Amino acid sequence: MQVLLNGTPAEIKEGSTIADLLEQLQIGRERVAVEVNLEIVPKSAYDSHTLATEDRIEIVHFVGGG
């Protein structure tokens, strides 16, 4: 199914949870934040939150800044 991942269209497996997606992208869950359709998903819900087609997903982390 198609989703919008960090602003870019992406194809992910039907029924994927956030945990599945992070694993597929090889992103550790500890130091990121995930937002789905402008709502932050708490880390405790990564395993249970199932993504849907056309979801707008943002995965952010910290970078250098002032």
Partner 1 sequence: MALENDKLIIAGREFSSRLMVGTGKYADFQQMVRALEVSGAEIITVAVRRVNISDRNKESLLDHIDLKKYTLLPNTAGCYTADDAVRTCRLAREAGLSDFVKLEVLGDEKTLFPDNEELLKAAKILVAEGFTVLPYCSDDVTVCRKLEDIGCAAVMPLGAPIGSGLGIRNPYNIKIILENIKVPVIVDAGVGCASDAAIAMELGCHGVLMNTAIAGAQDPIAMAEAMKLAVIAGRLSYKAGRIPRKLYANASSPIEGLLA
Binding mask 5-44 for partner 1 (x = CB under 8 A): xxxx-x--------------xxx---xxxxx--x-x-xx-
Q: What is the token pair recorded at 56?
A: 């707008």
Q: What are phi and psi of 31, to 5 degrees?
A: -115, 30
In contact, 47 and 17? CB cutoff 8 Å: yes
Q: How many residues bind partner 1 (CB under 8 A)?
A: 26
* Burial class of 43 by CB neighbour count within 10 A (0 to 12, 13 to 18, 19+): middle
Smaller CB separation from partner 1, 52 or 60: 60
Smaller CB separation from partner 1, 35 or 54: 35
Sites of contact with partner 1 (CB under 8 A): 5-8, 10, 25-27, 31-35, 38, 40, 42-43, 58-66
